[in-house]
Homo-oligomer: A and B are copies of this chain.
Amino acid sequence: MTTRTAARKKSIAKSAKSAEPAGSVKSAPFQAPARALEWVGEVDGWVEMIDQTRLPASCEILQIRTAEEIAEAIRRLSVRGAPAIGVAAAYGVVLGARSAAGNGLGSFQRALKEAIEKLAASRPTAVNLFWALKRMEEKAKSWIAEGREAREVASLLLEEARAIHREDAALCEAIGRHGAALLRDGETVLTHCNAGALATGGLGTALAVIYRAVQDGKKIRVYADETRPLLQGARLTAWELVRAGIEVTLLCDSAAPVLLRAGRVDAVVVGADRIARNGDAANKIGTYGLAVHARGQGVPFYIAAPSTTFDLSIASGRQIPIEERRPEEVTAGFGLATAPEGVRVYNPAFDVTPAALITAFITEHGVIRPPYRRSIAAALKRR
C-alpha cells in the first residue's frame, strides 16, 4: 500500500486534485465532492482510496493492489460507511482474484476464496460488506461454471465491482434529486455525523441532498454537528463540504438546540443505519435529541437513506439493538486522557428517533411521508 497526498496526485477524483486555500472557500463554485475510493485502470489496475483516518489534517490517497490491503483498510477505518465498505470489498475480491488469474483455475479459485474470507473478517458487523462479497462470489461461481477462463472471470469481476459502485452512486443521485426538491434557495440545513460521499460510493445520502440542491443553483448553508465521540461531523462532513465549496459551520452537538431555537435552521437532514417498519429510525447518537428540538421549533426533520436501510422484519425501534461502544472513545478519544480512572462510561453508538418526529424519509424511490405504516410498505414494494 503506497501513500501520497492529494495535492501531488493527478489520477484521483477531480475534486481531490488540489487543496483549496481556506480563504477562497466561500465564493468557490460547486465542485463534486471527493470520492471515498475508485478503481484506476483496467484489471491490472489498483484502488485509490482516501485514508479517512488522516482526515482532516491531511488528505492522503492510498494506492491499494492486494485484497489483504483492502481488508486492512476496512479494519483500520481508512474507509468507513456501509455502502463505501461494500464497494471496497468488491474491488478487494477483484484484487484477490486477479493475483492468481495466470495460474490456472484451481489456483484462481483458491485465491478467490482466500480473498473473500480475509475481506469478510475485516468488519464482522457490516451488512453491506457481506452483501457485496456474496454477490461477487456467486457471479464468479456462475462464470466458472460456464467454463470461462480465470483471466476472463477476473475481468468480469472488475465489471461487477464497478457495477456495484455505479449502482451505489445512482442510489445517492436519486436520493439527492428527491431531497433537493425539498430545499429552497437560501436555506440553511443542519446535519449530524457523516452521511456523505466519504461514506458511500457516490454523493452520500444526507449530503447528496445538499450537493444536488447546490448543483441545481440553490445557495445552501450547512451547520454540521461535530458528532462526539468520533467527530465524524468535524473530521469528515466539514471536510467534504469545504472541499465542495459549500459554506459549512461546525458546532458542538450541545449547541444545536439554541441554533434551532434561534430560527437559524430551515431543515435538519441526517442519514440512518436502520429503519423499522413503522418508521422508527436508528442513527448516530444525538439524532434523537436533534429530532425533539426540530419538532419543538417546527423545523422539518428529514432522514435520507436508500430503501435497503429499511428493515421490514422489524416492527418498531424497540427491536433495534443499540451497540454500546468502548469507553475509551469518550475518555481518551484524542490520544489524551480526558477523564479520570475509575469513571464509568455510557457510550451508545446509536439512538432511535421515533417515527412521529420524522417529517419524511428521502429514498431513491422518492419522499415517503406519514402515515408510515402504510407509506413505507407501499414505497418499498417497488424494490
Contact = CB atoms under 8 A, between A and B. Distances in A.
Interface of A: 20-23, 25, 55-57, 223-229, 231, 234-235, 238-239, 242-243, 247-259, 261, 285-286, 288-289, 292-293, 296, 330-331, 333-348, 351-352
Nearest to A327: B250
The prevalent SS among residues of A at the interface is mixed
Given A234-B331, A289-B289, A336-B335, A254 B253 contact: yes
B289 A256 contact: yes
A342 B249 CA distance: 9
Given A20-B342, A228-B252, A239-B340, A257 B335 contact: no
The 3 closest A-B pairs by CB, nearest first: A254-B286, A334-B334, A257-B289
A347 B20 contact: no
Q: How many copies, total?
A: 2
A341 B55 CA distance: 11
Contacts of A258: 285, 288-289, 348, 351-352
Contacts of A337: 56-57
Given A235-B338, A242-B340, A242-B343, A250 B331 contact: yes
A348 B255 contact: yes
A290 to B, nearest CB: 8
Given A247-B344, A250-B331, A255 B25 contact: no
B261 A330 contact: no
Contact of A293 (B55, B249, B292, B344): B292
A334 B338 contact: yes
B228 A25 contact: no
Nearest to A55: B340
Contact of A344 (B234, B250, B261, B285): B250
A339 B241 CA distance: 11
A224 to B, nearest CB: 8
Nearest to A289: B257
Contacts of A57: 336-337
A105 B238 CA distance: 61
B259 A288 contact: no
A198 to B, nearest CB: 12
Contacts of A247: 344
